[in-house]
Structure 1
Amino acid sequence: MDDGAPRNDQHPASGAPAPRSGKERRRWSRQPSGQQHDIPPPPPALTPLIFSTEAFPAGDQFAAWQGLNAPLVDLTLPDGVTAQDGFAARQVAWNLGGMLVVQQKASAHSYHRSAAKLRSSLVDHWVIIFRREGKAWTEVGGRVAESQPGTVEIRSLAHAFRGRMLDSQSLTLYLPRDLFADSSAMLDANNNRILSRNLAGLLISYVDSLEARLSEFSKDDLPGVVNATRDMILACMASTEEWAAVATKHGTVAAMERARRFIRNNLQTTTITPELLCRELGISRTHLYQLFEPSGGVVHYIQKQRLLAAHAALSDPSDRRLIAEIAESFGFASAADFSRAFSREFGYSPRQARSAPAPSRVMKEGTLDADGLPSFERWLRALGS
């Protein structure tokens, strides 16, 4: 029924259809929603590096596993087990740029990161191990920590350690020390500590979620993932008053960490002096000397770091420089001065360090990079740089 009232689409006076404004926008799109051109998601950024001993004859399997782990630890078989028995192991590594995520399953063995290993490999990352199957016992500085399924291990590659593990499955995070530069005291206070119960549960839930999405992350996602992982680790370690109190006692560690990082980044210059360090760190000479007193003094520490870096270069089969060139690159005035200091520090000459036999590297074709180094080792060296 028409009641005579003008409709919304009629002119109020004449009842004729009201003209549409040229500026009037349509309320609904002409294009059906199913045909809209959505922006495609960015492509996944990560390609895993997969290593398995199944590709080798039984007698070569343990040697292959030793070669893969040579930058980190020396491995031995349990008593009564020989290499000819075979060694089942598999590793899948993901490189997020500022963090490595490593899924691993391996047969029982013992491991040792010795003082010699520390010298030949300057890798000093933090390692967070989420054990899912099996048990492990690790000794650092006389203290043994036992891990089992459902626990989380915290360990520094800057310190020597030894241990053994049963047939195990785990997920391991490798994180560079510089990622924790402002919180190094907290981690140092918890080296070789085992998290369990609620603290471990929080981290495990987070890492399980991260692991499930590794094949989906885009390049833009990666920095946020690394930072979120760092924050989650620190939040769990700072959750008890006991640990916070321990870290507080190490208040000087943060300043020492900044000094260590500056020295490491400038080893190939000849201008590192106590005066320069004081300016860079914003501390007094007295404070600087107090920081380095346990290390034998600041000058001794700088020279030792130069020698350690030179030792790593001499032990690197891909570094083909002459010994004199390596000595000069790390700030030594002459090859003779370098040789004397090197021999005094390590008990053998630079030439002996270079000619020392390299660890067995039975590696499958395709796992070596252009320099002849295993790709996983290259990832470890470049982590955080």
Structure 2
Amino acid sequence: MDVSYSTAGTAALERKRYWDEAVSSTYFPLDLRFQNAAAFSGDLNVWDLGAVSLSRLDSDGLLYRRQKRHLLHEREESYLITVPEKAEISFEQSGKAVRCKPGAFLVERSHLPYEFSYTAKNTLWVLKVPIATLRPRVGLPERIASLSFDSTRGTGALFVDMIRLVAPRLVEMDAPARDMTGKHLVDILAMSLISDERMLMSDAGSVQVGHLHRVESYVRANLARADLGPQAIADACGISVRYLHQLMKRQGTSVCHWIRVQRLLRSDEMLRDPSCRKLVSEIAYALGFSDHAQFSRHYKAHFGYSPSEARERYSLLSPSGSG
């Protein structure tokens, strides 16, 4: 459902409360500090894109704080991808202080306290992405939290261009089209993230980074292959099997375990998707598992409940299953 908020018709004494509620309902609970609450001006438009949401926020300068008490009752973690249009934003989370100017975008985690501010009137595009949607595409999204990424060229620029182009057209789209658009935006975002060396290994040389990038990309593109294993990956990426094992060992995992986790994360995304009509067994075979029982066993060991229980749980949590 699309929602719009504006302080234009709000009494001066009510603007602080009104904007606080608008922001908290769109993203998650936050504490706000206004430069001048009575004179504050802000507009917020929010579009539903299936699992993700896109918003455009125009407002005077403001300080947003995510406090520890806000996290007590939060369930699923989300990431905010924020694109400033007019002024620089300042962000601090987990001891990292970042300044993000127009021409870049910032990644914020919902499950950790933070401070976010801008002193001048600003326009922000914000893509809110659940971690369950982001993780199958980028592996460990924690690696890119509190980082600023270039959006003036390459896939970073394409991601921001797509956001600006998509918003005016959303009113013309039905729910399935919006859902697909949201997935495409996250796919393009993921491409821009994983191409950044900081996503791969902060202590690795450029050659190792390049190899790991190719390995991760190849595996995620070939999860349906039942014969996907160390030899196939090494051959496709032009490295030895021994070197592949060394790369994964430096990541704290093994090749086969990492492949299985990627399959489980992708299957979880499919189970969450209300438009996915595949049977659980069809999802298992589509992602390279040899049989339904094997898939269910691994899924339950990883997530704590069976694929069938997961689908029922997600259907109850989705907007279409709540009424």
Q: Which amino acid aligns with 1:126?
A: Y
1:68 equivalent in alignment to 2:22 = yes
1:203 equivalent in alignment to 2:203 = no
The residue aligned with 1:14 is none
CA distance in 2, matches of 1:162, 1:257: 35
CA distance in 2, matches of 1:103, 1:91: 6
Q: Work out whether residues 156 and 191 of structure 1, in 8 Å CA contact, stay in contact via their aligned partners in 2.
A: yes
1:145 equivalent in alignment to 2:98 = yes
TM-score, normalised on structure 2?
A: 0.61
Q: What secondary structure does 2:153 align onto?
A: helix
Distance 1:109 1:240, change over 3 A: closer
2:179 to 205, 223, 232: 223
Q: Work out whether residues 99 and 383 of structure 1, in 8 Å CA contact, stay in contact via their aligned partners in 2.
A: no
* Alpha-carbon displacement from aligned partner over 1:64-108 (angstroms, at most 9, x marks no partner): 111222352433335xx443x321011111112222111111111
1:214 to 148, 170, 174: 170
The residue aligned with 1:118 is 71
Of residues 143-152 and 248-257 in structure 1, the stretch that sits farther from structure 2 once superposed is: 248-257
Q: Which amino acid aligns with 2:47?
A: W
1:99 to 20, 40, 52: 52
Q: Which amino acid aligns with 2:75?
A: L
Q: How far did 1:174 drift?
A: 1.0
* Alpha-carbon displacement from aligned partner over 1:21-55 (angstroms, at most 9, x marks no partner): xxxxxxxxxxxxxxxxxxxxxxxxxx631111112
Q: How far did 1:185 drift?
A: 3.1
TM-score, normalised on structure 1?
A: 0.52
Q: What secondary structure does 2:77 align onto?
A: coil
1:189 equivalent in alignment to 2:140 = no
1:238 equivalent in alignment to 2:191 = no
Q: What secondary structure does 2:65 align onto?
A: strand
Could you say what the CA RMSD is over the residues aligned between the two structures, in angstroms? 3.6
Structure with greater strand share of residues: 2
Unmatched runs of 5 consecutive residues or more in structure 1: 1-46, 266-277, 289-297, 303-380
Q: Work out whether residues 103 and 172 of structure 1, in 8 Å CA contact, stay in contact via their aligned partners in 2.
A: yes
Larger radius of gyration: 1
2:43 to 78, 90, 112: 90
Q: What secondary structure does 1:158 align onto?
A: coil
Q: How far did 1:194 drift?
A: 0.8
The residue aligned with 1:174 is 128
The residue aligned with 2:309 is none
CA distance in 1, matches of 2:133, 2:199: 20
Q: Which has the higher contact order (CA 8 A, sep 6+)?
A: 1
Q: Work out whether residues 138 and 193 of structure 2, in 8 Å CA contact, stay in contact via their aligned partners in 1.
A: no
Q: How far did 1:212 drift?
A: 3.2
Distance 1:192 1:280, change over 3 A: same
The residue aligned with 1:162 is 115
* Alpha-carbon displacement from aligned partner over 1:174-222 (angstroms, at most 9, x marks no partner): 1222112423534211011111132532211222222232122233312
Q: Work out whether residues 130 and 152 of structure 1, in 8 Å CA contact, stay in contact via their aligned partners in 2.
A: yes
CA distance in 2, matches of 1:192, 1:126: 10
CA distance in 1, matches of 2:196, 2:30: 35
Q: Work out whether residues 127 and 154 of structure 1, in 8 Å CA contact, stay in contact via their aligned partners in 2.
A: yes
Q: Which amino acid aligns with 2:134?
A: F
Counterparts in 2 of 1:1-385, with a 5 A limit?
48-70=2-24, 72-78=28-34, 81-83=35-37, 85-166=38-119, 167-183=121-137, 185-196=139-150, 197-199=152-154, 200-246=156-202, 255=261, 279-281=297-299
Q: Work out whether residues 48 and 178 of structure 2, in 8 Å CA contact, stay in contact via their aligned partners in 1.
A: no
Q: Work out whether residues 131 and 148 of structure 1, in 8 Å CA contact, stay in contact via their aligned partners in 2.
A: yes
Structure with greater helix share of residues: 2
Distance 1:143 1:228, change over 3 A: same
Q: How far did 1:240 drift?
A: 3.3
